């Protein structure tokens, strides 16, 4: 049994089924991320005074990731164009590049997550606060070693853009510690929304890469049977990828630059 | 020349398509990609959940009417399965909250929507538009499997330590987050599965309607049912994701310890909670109701579609104002996205916002009234055939009317202050969904049953089912308006006893014995309503094998395409791909001996 318009577009609507399905799916994705972005606005506008941090994320790394995704959008397009021109070798090349760029993006994202995960804020019983990265090799059962700085007031930590004193190695005896918490989602609402938004975005990147890897590898058998059908698949997967790129274009300024 | 419609029953083999490969039991009935099998899977599963949801509320009604007394008949079973929350067969307040939350969740997300969109939409939309299947058959199968999995997760949550979610189907934070059991986590995971299922389903239905319409089936020739399914699918597609976003955020609050919905300084049990704070409880309500209001229209639009089909078929004349109805449905769907905060007048979000949402809420009643009025005027001058499906469809009109009109006092911020969170609200939306949508679904089941099985359901027992259901539905829900006016709150596990005049004599605003006595009346009415469904259940299953066989493929003499197929339709639906030449409701025309012309008649 054949279902109509799986490959060729329906004349009066101008699209084939999967393309319309993808556009509808993306409409739903817009609403999903729309809900999360409005949550961002809500928690940011409603944040109590002196609690919303600035400049906690690395702008150079964020810029690099933006460039990576932007270039992958171009290579995705070129891969599709190669399919349209029936140049299978060109398709392999550009799709391979897309896979590479996406993977590097995720690698950098993973490095940023790790950086936050090993970053601790330690409040001592005397009220002082130590803030810095855990030096795991030298931390023992008796003492915690951080590479960071001392502050008197938590609010000094809020603006990461301002220059501050040099990082030194800090040794804190465990019995002096009142509370020790890493920069995980529970640390404050900024990190909570940061991890949620970028995490969900990262899952989308991962999903896109899985589909691309399939199309680049085992899925490319379809090319030899029905190149038009295969080109459609590349196009539809590419639509999804462009959407994921677009989400990042919103995430970058919201989280890194403001 | 009018093409003669089949006056006989077409049964397999169907000539040219006789050599369909035999798929075997698993591929044919369990992992099927045939939209009709998936529709039936949805239907049977959803009917089971409907019964379960009803059972939950029946035990709750016992607790409301007889607080602290052991639940008769099933008390021992509850204790055995659920343990301490039901010790000695008595429903504890925790168990009451659990059942309350799960009654709402099961009824909305696992029973009515899957029945209205999953079952009826899946089975009928491709048939009505002359397609051989849905646009994405495998996604369709996956959609059902995810729905089933979501249902399993929800059911499993009853059995974990601490039991199921207890914070109401609305799951307001911070309450939902700070209840120290895992029920809410299960609820959230179950919801994510259900949302994904409905996402796949709605993408599929919309694509099918847009892409796979038969040649000649233009937009204004679509049966109204298809329009209703299209609108409902758009609502599912666009309104559910914000709830998914909210679900993800609440899951983070629950599992990763974030504070999206937890404000600074939140104290739990007199102790300041160990959280970062800075979140907003209002945010949850906004995201939740952004889904949950359009969801109401997902519940009602397919029901309207079914009623329109059944009525058009049985008045033997065209629907009055078909175009108007189509535009009304589209307007309604659009407006349903900007009315959500009328559920939140008492949250302190501000009077200006209330005024805006009050205005849009009152505006949305206009297209609803248009739809109902068109259906009502359609009856005028028709030669009405009265039988079970038509009785249910006719009863839908006044019942939904009561539900809609009682909504107006809730839509005005001022009168909502008295009625908010009382039994009045319960009465209002149950009139919309229970004698409204469920009656329409019954009408649909009785109406399309001959197409599914080639047999009719028993008419006598159908009428018994109808009249008893009508009587007891009203007996259950009408007294709730009186209770609500008296100020009886909706979520109290003792049924309002602690606020009774007996507990505090002479205090203004306490609940009189008459009002509390209605609880007992409702209990017995609800039980009778349950018993009234027994003829239906028996009728449904017995008729599959023993019902009176139909004499034609088109026993109701209907115009729409789903009747112009063999009975039951084979995999691939039509013997010849149909072509459409006319609108959906050409009844009353003289065409030989018949008083109707099918859409595919040249």
Report the DSSP beta bridge partners of residue A168: A148
Asked whether residue A10 is domain-assigned, the answer is no
> Residue A132 in 3-state DSSP?
strand
- Chain A contacts to B (CB-CB under 8 A): 1-5, 10, 13, 15-18, 20-21, 24-25, 27-29, 31-36, 38-39, 42-43, 46-48, 51, 184-189, 192-193, 195-196, 200
With a CB cutoff of 8 Å and minimum separation 6, the contacts of B459 are B387, B388
Same-domain check for residues A175 and A134: yes
Asked whether residue A129 is domain-assigned, the answer is yes
Give backbone dihedrals phi and psi of A45, rounded to 5 degrees, phi first.
-65, -35
Instruction: List the domains of chain B with CATH numbers.
Output: 37-258+277-596 (1.20.210.10)
Q: Is the peptide bond before B452 cis (omega within 30 degrees of 0)?
A: no
Asked whether residue A84 is domain-assigned, the answer is yes
Answer whether B104's CB lies under 8 Å from B191's CB. no
Note the pLDDT tens digit of each residue in B444-488. 999 999 999 999 999 999 999 999 999 999 999 999 999 999 999
Same-domain check for residues A112 and A129: no
Write down the mean pLDDT value for chain A. Answer: 94
Task: For chain A, report the end-to-end CA distance as a whole number of angstroms.
Answer: 55
Same-domain check for residues A240 and A137: no
With a CB cutoff of 8 Å and minimum separation 6, the contacts of B52 are B106
pLDDT at residue A1 greater than cutoff 80? no
Distance in angstroms (rounded) separating the CA atoms of residues B249 and A37 = 12
With a CB cutoff of 8 Å and minimum separation 6, the contacts of A185 are A191, A192, A194, A195, A196, B252, B256, B257, B258
Chain CA centroid to CA B451, Å: 22
pLDDT at residue B4 greater than cutoff 80? no
CA distances from B302 to A104, B139, B155, B235, B494 (A): 47, 21, 26, 12, 36
Gap from B276 CA to chain A (nearest CA, Å): 5
Same-domain check for residues A156 and A87: no
Asked whether residue A138 is domain-assigned, the answer is yes
Q: Which helix (H) or strand (E) holds B197?
A: helix B183-211
Note the pLDDT tens digit of each residue in B292-335. 999 999 999 999 999 999 999 999 999 999 999 999 999 999 99
Answer whether B328's CB lies under 8 Å from B272's CB. no
Write down the mean pLDDT value for chain B. Answer: 93
Question: Mutate which of B208, B218, B264, B278 to test chain A, going by most A C-beta atoms within 10 A?
Answer: B278
DSSP classification of residue B318: P
Answer whether B299's CB lies under 8 Å from B116's CB. yes
pLDDT at residue A23 greater than cutoff 60? yes
The CATH number of whichever domain residue A135 belongs to comes to: 2.30.30
Question: What burial class does residue A10 get, using C-beta atoms within 10 Å of its C-beta: 0-12 exposed, 13-18 middle, 19+ buried?
Answer: middle
Answer whether B588's CB lies under 8 Å from B381's CB. no
Give pLDDT, residue B1: 32
Task: Work out the number of other CB atoms within 10 angstroms of the CB of residue A60.
Answer: 8
Inter-chain CB proximity B258 and A192 less than 8 Å? yes
Q: Which of A4, A35, A193 sits opposite B212 (nearest CB)?
A: A4
Inter-chain CB proximity A189 and B237 less than 8 Å? no
Give pLDDT, residue B3: 42
Asked whether residue A1 is domain-assigned, the answer is no
Distance in angstroms (rounded) separating the CA atoms of residues B558 and B117 = 22
Gap from B136 CA to chain A (nearest CA, Å): 8
Asked whether residue A7 is domain-assigned, the answer is no
Question: What burial class does residue A46 get, using C-beta atoms within 10 Å of its C-beta: 0-12 exposed, 13-18 middle, 19+ buried?
Answer: middle
Q: Range with the lowest mean pLDDT among A219-233, B113-127, B136-150, B265-279?
A: B265-279
Q: Is the ipTM of this complex over 0.90?
A: yes
Half-sphere exposure of A245 (CA within 13 A, CB side): 22
Number of domains into which chain A is organized: 2
With a CB cutoff of 8 Å and minimum separation 6, the contacts of B436 are B300, B303, B396, B399, B400, B403
Report the DSSP beta bridge partners of residue A143: A173
Give pLDDT, residue A181: 94
User: Which of A182, A206, A236 is the endpoint of a domain?
Assistant: A182
Distance in angstroms (rounded) separating the CA atoms of residues B141 and B265 = 47
pLDDT at residue A173 greater than cutoff 60? yes
Same-domain check for residues A46 and A92: yes
Task: For chain B, report the end-to-end CA distance as a whole number of angstroms.
Answer: 7
Asked whether residue A4 is domain-assigned, the answer is no
Note the pLDDT tens digit of each residue in B488-543. 999 999 988 888 888 878 787 789 999 999 999 999 999 999 999 999 999 999 99
Answer whether B553's CB lies under 8 Å from B565's CB. yes
Give pLDDT, residue A88: 95
Mean pLDDT of B58-84: 93
Distance in angstroms (rounded) separating the CA atoms of residues B486 and B276 = 42
The boundaries of the domain holding residue A128 are 119-182
Asked whether residue A209 is domain-assigned, the answer is yes
Mean pLDDT of B101-126: 97
Answer whether B560's CB lies under 8 Å from B469's CB. no
Distance in angstroms (rounded) separating the CA atoms of residues B136 and B146 = 15
Inter-chain CB proximity A35 and B237 less than 8 Å? no
Same-domain check for residues A88 and A150: no
The CA-CA-CA angle for residues B46, B50, B55, to 5°, reads 145
Same-domain check for residues A125 and A112: no
Answer whether B123's CB lies under 8 Å from B40's CB. yes
User: Which of A142, A166, A182 is the endpoint of a domain?
Assistant: A182
**Residue entry with tokens 């009625």:** B419
Mean pLDDT of B176-198: 94
Inter-chain CB proximity B259 and A192 less than 8 Å? yes
Same-domain check for residues A42 and A91: yes
**Residue entry with tokens 């677009």:** A246
Gap from B245 CA to chain A (nearest CA, Å): 6
Chain A residues touching B260 at Cβ < 8 A:
39, 43, 189, 192-193
pTM: predicted TM-score of the whole model, two decimal places: 0.95
Task: Work out the number of other CB atoms within 10 angstroms of the CB of residue B340.
Answer: 25
Give pLDDT, residue A11: 94
Same-domain check for residues A140 and A21: no
Q: Which helix (H) or strand (E) holds A133?
A: strand A129-134
Give pLDDT, residue A123: 93
User: Which of A182, A207, A227 is the endpoint of a domain?
Assistant: A182
B582 and chain A: CB distance < 8 Å anywhere?
Answer: no
**pLDDT-derived band at B13, boundaries 50, 70, 90:** low
Gap from B197 CA to chain A (nearest CA, Å): 12
Distance in angstroms (rounded) separating the CA atoms of residues A182 and A168 = 18
Distance in angstroms (rounded) separating the CA atoms of residues A32 and A204 = 12
Q: Which of A16, A24, A35 sits opposite B245 (nearest CB)?
A: A35
pLDDT at residue A91 greater than cutoff 90? yes
The CATH number of whichever domain residue A52 belongs to comes to: 1.20.120.80
Same-domain check for residues A144 and A194: no
Note the pLDDT tens digit of each residue in A115-166. 999 999 999 999 899 999 999 999 999 999 999 999 988 888 998 887 777 8
Question: Mutate which of B241, B273, B347 to test chain A, going by most A C-beta atoms within 10 A?
Answer: B241
Mean pLDDT of B543-568: 94
Note the pLDDT tens digit of each residue in B564-590. 999 899 988 999 999 999 999 999 877
CA dihedral A64, A68, A71, A73 (to 10 degrees): -130
Which of B270, B423, B278, B412 is CA-nearest to residue B354? B412
Half-sphere exposure of A18 (CA within 13 A, CB side): 17
- Choose between B602 and B336: higher pLDDT: B336
Same-domain check for residues A212 and A147: no
Same-domain check for residues A106 and A164: no
Which of B504, B482, B374, B378 is CA-nearest to residue B424? B482
Distance in angstroms (rounded) separating the CA atoms of residues B164 and B99 = 8
Task: Work out the number of other CB atoms within 10 angstroms of the CB of residue A177.
Answer: 15
CA dihedral A53, A55, A61, A62 (to 10 degrees): 70
Answer whether B129's CB lies under 8 Å from B212's CB. yes
Chain CA centroid to CA B499, Å: 33
Q: Range with the lowest mean pLDDT among A190-194, B101-105, B489-493?
A: B489-493
């Amino acid at each position: 049994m054949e279902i109509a318009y799986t490959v060729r577009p329906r004349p009066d609507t101008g699209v084939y089924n999967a393309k319309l399905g993808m556009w509808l799916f993306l409409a739903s994705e817009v609403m999903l991320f729309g809900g999360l972005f409005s949550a961002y606005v809500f928690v940011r506008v409603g944040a109590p005074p002196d609690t919303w941090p600035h400049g906690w994320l690395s702008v150079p790394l964020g810029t690099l990731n933006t460039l990576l995704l932007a270039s992958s959008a171009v290579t995705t397009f070129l891969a599709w164009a190669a399919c349209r021109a029936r140049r299978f070798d060109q398709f392999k090349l550009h799709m391979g590049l897309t896979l590479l760029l996406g993977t590097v993006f995720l690698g950098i994202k993973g490095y940023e997550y790790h950086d936050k995960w090993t970053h601790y804020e330690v409040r001592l019983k005397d009220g002082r606060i130590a803030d810095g990265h855990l030096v795991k090799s030298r931390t023992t059962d008796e003492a915690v070693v951080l590479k960071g700085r001392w502050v008197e007031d938590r609010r000094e930590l809020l603006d990461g853009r301002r220059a501050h004193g040099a990082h030194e190695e800090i040794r804190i005896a465990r019995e002096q510690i009142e509370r020790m918490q890493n920069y995980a989602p529970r640390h404050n609402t900024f990190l909570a929304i940061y991890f949620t938004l970028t995490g969900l975005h990262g899952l989308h990147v991962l999903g896109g890469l899985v589909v691309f890897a399939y199309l680049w590898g085992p899925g490319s058998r379809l090319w030899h049977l029905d190149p038009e059908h295969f080109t459609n698949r590349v196009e539809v997967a590419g639509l999804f990828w462009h959407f994921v790129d677009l989400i990042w274009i919103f995430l970058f300024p919201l989280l890194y630059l403001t | 020349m009018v093409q003669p419609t089949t006056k006989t029953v077409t049964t397999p083999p169907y000539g040219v398509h006789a050599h369909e490969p035999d798929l075997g039991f698993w591929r044919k009935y369990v992992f099927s990609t045939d939209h009709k099998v998936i529709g039936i899977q949805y239907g049977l599963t959803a009917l089971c959940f409907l019964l379960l949801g009803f059972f939950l509320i029946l035990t709750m009604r016992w607790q409301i009417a007889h607080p602290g007394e052991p639940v008769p008949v099933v008390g021992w079973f509850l204790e055995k399965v659920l343990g301490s929350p039901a010790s000695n067969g008595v429903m504890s307040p925790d168990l009451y909250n659990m059942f309350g939350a799960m009654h709402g969740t099961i009824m909305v997300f696992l029973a009515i929507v899957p029945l209205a969109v999953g079952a009826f939409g899946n089975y009928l939309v491709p048939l009505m538009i002359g397609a051989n299947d849905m646009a994405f058959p495998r996604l369709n199968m996956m959609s059902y499997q995810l729905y089933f999995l979501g249902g399993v997760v929800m059911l499993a949550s009853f059995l974990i330590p601490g039991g199921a979610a207890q914070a109401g189907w609305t799951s307001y934070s911070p309450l939902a987050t700070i209840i120290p059991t895992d029920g809410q986590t299960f609820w959230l995971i179950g919801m994510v599965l259900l949302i994904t299922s409905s996402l796949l389903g709605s993408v599929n239905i919309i694509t099918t309607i847009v892409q796979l319409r038969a040649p000649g089936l233009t937009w204004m020739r679509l049966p109204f049912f298809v329009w209703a399914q299209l609108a409902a699918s758009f609502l599912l597609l666009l309104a559910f994701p914000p709830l998914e976003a909210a679900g993800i955020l609440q899951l983070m609050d629950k599992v990763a310890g974030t504070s999206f919905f937890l404000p600074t300084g939140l104290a739990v049990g007199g102790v300041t909670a160990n959280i970062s704070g800075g979140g907003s409880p209002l945010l949850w309500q906004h995201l939740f109701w952004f889904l949950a209001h359009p969801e109401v229209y997902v519940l009602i639009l397919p029901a309207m579609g079914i009623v329109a089909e059944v009525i058009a078929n049985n008045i033997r004349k065209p629907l009055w104002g078909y175009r108007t109805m189509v535009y009304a449905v589209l307007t309604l769907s659009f407006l349903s996205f900007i009315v959500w905060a009328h559920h939140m007048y008492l949250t302190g979000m501000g009077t200006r916002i209330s005024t805006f949402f009050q205005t849009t809420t009152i505006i949305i009643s206009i297209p609803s009234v248009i739809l109902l009025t068109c259906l009502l005027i359609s009856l005028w001058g028709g030669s009405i055939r009265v039988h079970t499906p038509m009785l249910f469809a006719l009863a839908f009109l006044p019942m939904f009317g009561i539900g809609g009109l009682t909504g107006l006092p809730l839509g005005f911020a001022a009168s909502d202050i008295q009625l908010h969170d009382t039994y009045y609200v319960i009465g209002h939306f149950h009139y919309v969904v229970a004698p409204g949508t469920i009656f329409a679904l019954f009408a649909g089941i009785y109406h399309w049953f001959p197409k599914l099985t080639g047999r009719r359901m028993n008419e006598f027992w159908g009428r018994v089912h109808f009249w008893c259901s009508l009587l007891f539905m009203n007996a259950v829900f009408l007294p709730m308006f009186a209770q609500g006016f008296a100020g009886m709150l909706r979520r109290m596990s003792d049924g309002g006893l602690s606020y009774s005049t007996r507990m505090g004599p002479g205090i203004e605003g306490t609940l009189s014995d008459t009002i509390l006595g209605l609880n007992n009346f409702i209990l017995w009415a609800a039980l009778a309503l349950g018993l009234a469904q027994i003829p239906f259940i028996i009728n449904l299953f017995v008729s599959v094998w023993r019902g009176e066989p139909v004499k034609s493929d088109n026993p109701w003499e209907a115009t729409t395409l789903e009747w112009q197929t063999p009975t039951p339709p084979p995999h691939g639906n039509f013997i010849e791909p149909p072509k459409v030449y006319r609108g959906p409701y050409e009844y009353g025309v003289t065409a030989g001996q018949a008083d109707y012309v099918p859409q595919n008649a040249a």
